[in-house]
Amino acid sequence: MDKVVKSDAEWRVQLSPEEFRVLRQAGTERPFTGEYVDTKTVGVYSCRACGTELFRSDTKFDSHCGWPSFYEPSKSEAVTLIEDRSMGMTRVEVRCATCDSHLGHVFHGEGYGTPTDDRYCINSVSLRLEPVE
């Protein structure tokens, strides 16, 4: 997979202001406002910035946290995990491995009935869903 490297100016041309804030500045969309929070559509979720496949709908589950939740990425190399000590706590940030865009955070051991016991809590604005028929 080839890395996508662009300047902030190039990203600002490609992305909306909200997409830029979340994807490139590690922002967070407000809970329960994203377009994919309650989506049940079968398909593939890709990075909104570069188009890399990140998650599949068969790993999406209802966590009722306010953001789309997945129990694993479609391929382990699709995302990178980085320790995040912002906001006065230690979390694990999830980024697109291709373009280094911020996607959200992953939490482990919360007791959800999923095969991995992981919750990839991902901003809708970081994703683009392509339905599969």
Q: What's the Cα-to-Cα distance from 36 to each of 94, 122, 125, rounded to whole Å? A: 17, 10, 9
The tokens of 84 are what? 């995040």
Considering just the CA atoms, what is the radius of gyration of the chain in Å?
14
- Indicate if 121 belongs to the active site: yes
* φ, ψ of residue 49 in degrees (nearest 5): -80, -40
Show Cβ contacts of residue 38 under 8 Å, excluding neighbours closer than 6 positions.
none
Q: Which class for 28: exposed (0-12), middle (13-18), buried (19 or more C-beta within 10 A)? A: middle
Of the residues 47, 50, 96, 121, only one is catalytic, namely 121
How many Å apart are CA 41 and CA 109, to the nearest integer?
27
Catalytic residues: 121
